[in-house]
Amino acid sequence: MSNTVSKPRLVILAAPGQPLPSNLAEIQALADVRITDAAGLANAMPGARALFLWDFFSSALADAWPYADSLEWVHVAAAGVDAMLFEDLRRSDVVLTNAHGVFDQPIAEFVLASVLAQDKQLHLSKRLQQEAVWQHRELTGTHGSRALVVGTGGIGRATARLLRAVGLSVRGVGRTAREDDPDFGTVVPSAELAEHAGWADHLVLAAPLTDQTRDLVDGAVLAAMKPSAHLVNVGRGALVDEDALLQALRTGQIAAASLDVFREEPVPASHPFWGTENVHVSAHMSGDIRGWRNTLALQFLTNLQRWSAGSIPENVVDKQRGYVSSSV
Q: Which domains does the chain have, with CATH numbers?
A: 9-102+290-308 (3.40.50.720), 104-281 (3.40.50.720)
User: Does residue 187 sit in helix, strand or coil?
Assistant: strand
pLDDT for 264: 97
Backbone φ, ψ for residue 155 (5° rounding): -65, -45
Paired residues of 50 in beta bridges: 10, 73
Indicate whether 28 pLDDT > 50. Answer: yes
Q: Using an 8 Å Cβ cutoff, are 323 and 317 in contact? A: yes
257 class by beta-carbon count within 10 Å (0-12 exposed, 13-18 middle, 19+ buried): buried
Indicate whether 3 pLDDT > 60. Answer: no
Backbone φ, ψ for residue 43 (5° rounding): -70, -25
In 3D, which of 86, 57, 89, 91 has the Cα closest to residue 74? Answer: 89
pLDDT for 325: 83
Helices marked H in the chain: 24-30, 41-44, 61-64, 87-91, 104-119, 122-130, 154-165, 193-196, 219-224, 242-250, 292-308
Indicate whether 21 pLDDT > 70. Answer: yes
pLDDT for 39: 98
Per-chain mean pLDDT for the chain = 96
pTM as predicted:
0.95
At 301-324, the pLDDT tens digits run 999 999 999 999 999 999 999 999
Secondary structure of 105-135 in HEC code, one letter for each residue = HHHHHHHHHHHHHHHCCHHHHHHHHHCCCCC
**Packing angle of the helix pair 104-119, 154-165 (nearest 10 deg):** 40
CA angle 267, 204, 291 (to 5 degrees): 65
Q: What is the DSSP letter of 7?
A: P
Indicate the pLDDT class of residue 270, thresholds 50, 70 and 90: very high
For 99-117, what is the mean pLDDT? 98
Indicate whether 229 pLDDT > 60. Answer: yes
